[in-house]
Amino acid sequence: MAKIFMSRRLPSEAIKMLEKHELDIYEGDSPPDKQEIIKRVKDKDILISLLTDAIDKDVINASPSLKMIANYAVGYDNIDVKEATKRNIVVTNTPGVLTETVADLTWALILSIARRIVEGDKFMRQGKFKGWAPLLMLGGDIYKKTLGIIGAGRIGKAVAKRAEGFRMNIIYYSRHRNEEMERIAKYVSLNDLLKKADFISLHVPLTNETYHLIGRNELKMMKKTAYLINTARGKCIDEDALYEALKNGEIAGAALDVYENEPNVNKNLIKLDNVVLTPHIGSASLETRTKMAVMVAENVLSFLKGEIPPNCVNLEVYKK
Ligand code: NAP
Ligand code: GLV
Ligand code: GLV
């Protein structure tokens, strides 16, 4: 029987799968703070963490018995994987099961920002609609426009595939060329993508390389009529630079699901009409959150059987 700390209550399917083990669940409505995590993880074998938990050196080294960190997310930038690997702690994530759900939300954002859906909804509720008018709420077209995907991974490809239905011209940039992507999209440099795309959508993980990937200079390269969509990680965009670009009309709009300093939102961005904001809900469908929970439990159970868990992100631990 393993001792497990779960930093928030996951869907019941996962709890059921782990019921033979000693499960300590943090039951708060908001994420536990660092001191709480350190206190609860102290005597545990396994930590089931969320992307809202910073699993840094202090947390990792707070428990001499810790052997595994199972993250309930595909992104694992919240974990100091290098430090975990040093301690031979196995780290897992939840790839694949959320891909289509995040791609759907990305498209919801593309459509919302271009066709001013959120602004229009507010306008209706405020009783401002006085009837059809030739120049009322003119937005941008999507059909046959150019979509630029940054990061040709699972989600980037799923977003590109949906663009075929809109007969878009699809271009992409990634560190490596991707065969599957090139059936429908053309590989370009990052600068070319920034200059040519009408819609730019970010699908990279947060790493040292992608921190502020989109900053002042990149925004300046974009078309004045272009839209920026981010369902990756907030820190991939310099939010202050984005605010300036939106305010000064350097780009047409932005739609964001993720923020530089979650859960805080840039106070200036909130004031703008040409921004759509959602609360980090990319994977938030009932079906997908359940599949992610089952995947976390499968990773844990597989690890406890002495196998290499299916979604291990630091295989180096097994090669030592
Ligand atoms: P993935 O399959 O690993 O795709 C990410 C792609 O980014 C990789 O294929 C990689 O391809 C590319 N990449 C990495 N570093 C890059 C760089 N420096 N420049 C350009 N491209 C780079 O991951 P995924 O499952 O699609 O998920 C992507 C990210 O979405 C996650 O890491 C997470 O942060 C975010 N996410 C957000 C939500 C949400 O709720 N909003 C939900 C799920 C995921 P190359 O090797 O070719 O560079
Ligand atoms: C969500 O943001 C994830 O990385 O799964
Ligand atoms: C608009 O409703 C139209 O009929 O063109």
Pocket test for ligand 2, best of 51, 155, 235, 281 (most atoms within 8 A of CB): 51
* Ligand 1 pocket member 74 (CB < 6 A): yes
> Helices marked H in 24-68 — which ranges?
34-41, 57-60
User: What type of residue is 69?
Assistant: I
- Domain boundaries 99-277, corresponding CATH code: 3.40.50.720
Global model pTM greater than 0.75: yes
All structural domains of the chain with their residue ranges: 3-95+286-319, 99-277
**Is 100 a catalytic site residue?**
no
User: 193, 228, 222: which is closest to 113 by C-alpha?
Assistant: 228
Q: Provide the pLDDT confidence category of residue 190 given band limits of 50, 70 and 90.
A: very high
User: What type of residue is 197?
Assistant: A
Residue 49 Cα to ligand 2 middle (Å) = 12
Query: Whole-angstrom Cα distance, residue 241 to residue 225?
Result: 17
- Please write the tens of the pLDDT for every residue from 98-150: 999 999 999 999 999 999 999 999 999 999 999 999 999 999 999 999 999 99
- Please write the tens of the pLDDT for every residue from 240-266: 999 999 999 999 999 999 999 999 999
**Whether the predicted pLDDT of 9 surpasses 90:** yes
User: 47, 53, 51: which is closest to 33 by C-alpha?
Assistant: 53
Q: Which residues pair with 92 in a beta bridge?
A: 70, 312
Q: Give Cβ neighbours of residue 38 (< 8 Å, ≥ 6 apart).
A: 58, 59, 62
Residue 205 Cα to ligand 1 middle (Å) = 4
**String of DSSP letters for 203-229:** -PPP-TTTTTSB-HHHHHHS-TT-EEE
Residue 133 Cα to ligand 1 middle (Å) = 42
- Please write the tens of the pLDDT for every residue from 292-312: 999 999 999 999 999 999 999
Average pLDDT over the chain, rounded to an integer: 98
Angle at 190 between CA 183 and CA 116, to 5 degrees: 85
- Please write the tens of the pLDDT for every residue from 268-298: 999 999 999 999 999 999 999 999 999 999 9
Q: Give Cβ neighbours of residue 249 (< 8 Å, ≥ 6 apart).
A: 224
Other CB atoms within a 10 A radius of the CB of residue 207 amount to 12
Question: Tell me, what's the pLDDT at 179?
Answer: 98
Catalytic residue among 13, 36, 244, 262: 262
Q: Rounded mean pLDDT of 149-171?
A: 99
Domains 3-95+286-319 and 99-277 share a fold: yes
Indicate the CATH number of 3-95+286-319 among 3.40.50.10490, 3.40.50.720, 3.40.50.620, 1.10.287.130.
Answer: 3.40.50.720
Question: Tell me, what's the pLDDT at 320?
Answer: 79
Q: Which residues pair with 311 in a beta bridge?
A: none
- The atom number, within ligand 2, closest to the CA of 73 reads 5
**Is 203 a catalytic site residue?**
no
- The atom number, within ligand 2, closest to the CA of 72 reads 5
